[in-house]
Amino acid sequence: MTHVVEPGAAGHAAARWEADGHRLTSSAQFHQWWDERLRAGGFAVERIPFDQLDTWAFDPRTGNLGHTSGRFFTVEGMRVREGGHEVRAQPIIHQPEIGILGIVVKEFDGVLHCLMQAKMEPGNVNTIQLSPTVQATRSNFTRVHKGGGTQYLERFVGPDRDQVLVDVLQSEQGAWFWRKRNRNMVVLATGDVPLAENFVWLTLAQVRELTRRDNLLNMDARTVLSCMPFALPDDPDAVGRGAFGAALVRSYQDAAPSGRGFALHTQSDLLSWFTEAKTRCEWTGRLVPLDEVAPRTGTAAGTPAGWSRDDHEITDAGGRDFRVIAVEVAANTREVTGWKQPLLQPHGQSRAAFLTRAVDGVLHLLVRARPEYGLLDQVEMAPTVHLLPGQDLDDVAEPFLRELLRSGAVTSHYDQVLSEEGGRFLNALTRYQILEVDESFPLDVPEHFTWVTVRQLTDLLRHGHYLNVEARSLLTCLYSLC
């Protein structure tokens, strides 16, 4: 049983949790359709040298790599200083314009369905992944666009859009993007919605279930799904997953009027903890010309930060972080003709894990206040552990976590490899984990951690600047465990 939280005053009829009979698309039908998309949607991605990028070039004055239109994104340099010293310098993607990641939802037989898209992106390890209805930069759908319009976009913007249920700016990878945010939207359609070729209707439960497959549900879909404050589970007894499942369902319950509810800490305490974490940040990051951070090989500038660029790539000397390369995309569908663009390729896989623990029968997540140099507001709430490519357990700074993860004294409830944004990153994979510790694990944690319920995080997702993109991904995965 699921309790539907009213998404707004317009108060559409409550969507019931679906029985199998209420699914518009059965799981078998979905997988058959998906296999067809895989066969149909092939395209080839080939590395090219930077000077074959045509409409992209390095600015002769700054070394920044950008599009000749001045739009889309640029690759620039970032310098971070703290207490008069430089603590980090690296290339970073700067994309100031805000795009839309939007899902159309609609009731069929009283059950809410999501309109999902089979979308190919050049950086995906497996060509296509399941994406939101609309996934478009402003450059895609405004001035720079050439070719057909973005399908279903009119349902999200303009005077005739559908009823807005969710509309919030959320951050993306603070390690690779400079202050990037996208508009996460959900709209409720009431009239007829014609189904276009690469789209499918799936129930919320079906979409969440797909997080249990490697590299199927893309990052953009995961973040939008995490921001849906409705259809939260509310009956722990009806769940057959034992103590963990029951504790998880309780973790979605609303707070009591006191603001505390089932949570160890009040929402006021949580906000104060977060404010405190921000005030501890004493670093400031700035964009600088890419030439300052990653000079062209063979120039007199030297490479103080350990980054350099040649004809084929921009990379760190140690090969631990990432490289920026150029690709040519040749698509074999009738809609897209092929294009060239830069991509950021991490030198390995990331790992993000939430540690969870029942407290009085209610599941709590151990959240970290994580500074990331590319975040607009410096700190967001993040998974307990997040290792970037090139990092391993030795890089976990806190002994209590390092030893726990080494010992393996945890129960794993979720362990899948999922992809990050395939439009900007090449083969960027993250191993996402949800791990449970028992009640002997201490509730007293260092100051940059705190224990929260799922509901407390869900409530904060009405606003931006709170949960980072990895935490949002894991919230969507967690939902599949109900």
Residue 212 found at the interface with a copy of itself (CB under 8 A): no
| Contact predicate 186/224, CB 8 Å | yes
Residue 60 found at the interface with a copy of itself (CB under 8 A): no
Transcribe 163-190 into DSSP letters: EEEEEEEEE--TTTEES-EEEEEEEE--
Residue 446 found at the interface with a copy of itself (CB under 8 A): no
Tell me the C-alpha distance between 296 and 63, whole Å.
8
Taking the complex as a whole, how short is the minimal distance between the CB of residue 141 and a copy of itself, in angstroms?
A: 12
| Contact predicate 79/286, CB 8 Å | yes
**Choices 115-123, 252-260, 297-305, 393-401; region in contact with a copy of itself by CB under 8 A:** 252-260
Residue 465 found at the interface with a copy of itself (CB under 8 A): yes
Taking the complex as a whole, how short is the minimal distance between the CB of residue 256 and a copy of itself, in angstroms?
A: 8
Percent helix, percent strand, percent coil in the chain, to nearest 5: 20, 35, 45
Residue 57 found at the interface with a copy of itself (CB under 8 A): no
Residue 136 found at the interface with a copy of itself (CB under 8 A): no
Residue among 419, 435, 418 nearest 481 (CA): 435
Tell me the C-alpha distance between 23 and 195, whole Å.
16
Residue 258 found at the interface with a copy of itself (CB under 8 A): yes
Q: Which of 153, 238, 271, 437 binds a copy of itself (CB under 8 A)?
A: 271
Q: How far is CA 72 from CA 40, 311, 465, in A?
A: 28, 22, 23
Residue 138 found at the interface with a copy of itself (CB under 8 A): yes
| 3-state SS class at 393 | helix
Residue 98 found at the interface with a copy of itself (CB under 8 A): yes
Q: Which is nearer to a copy of itself, 102 or 122 (CB)?
A: 102
Strand blocks (E) in 334-384: 339-346, 350-359, 362-371, 379-382
| Contact predicate 312/304, CB 8 Å | no
Q: Which of 52, 126, 272, 411 binds a copy of itself (CB under 8 A)?
A: 272
Taking the complex as a whole, how short is the minimal distance between the CB of residue 323 and a copy of itself, in angstroms?
A: 26
Q: Which of 97, 154, 209, 234 binds a copy of itself (CB under 8 A)?
A: 97
Residue 287 found at the interface with a copy of itself (CB under 8 A): yes
Binding site for a copy of itself (CB under 8 A): 6-11, 70, 83-84, 96-98, 138, 164-165, 167-169, 183, 257-260, 266, 268-269, 271-272, 275-276, 278-279, 282, 284, 286-287, 376-377, 462-465
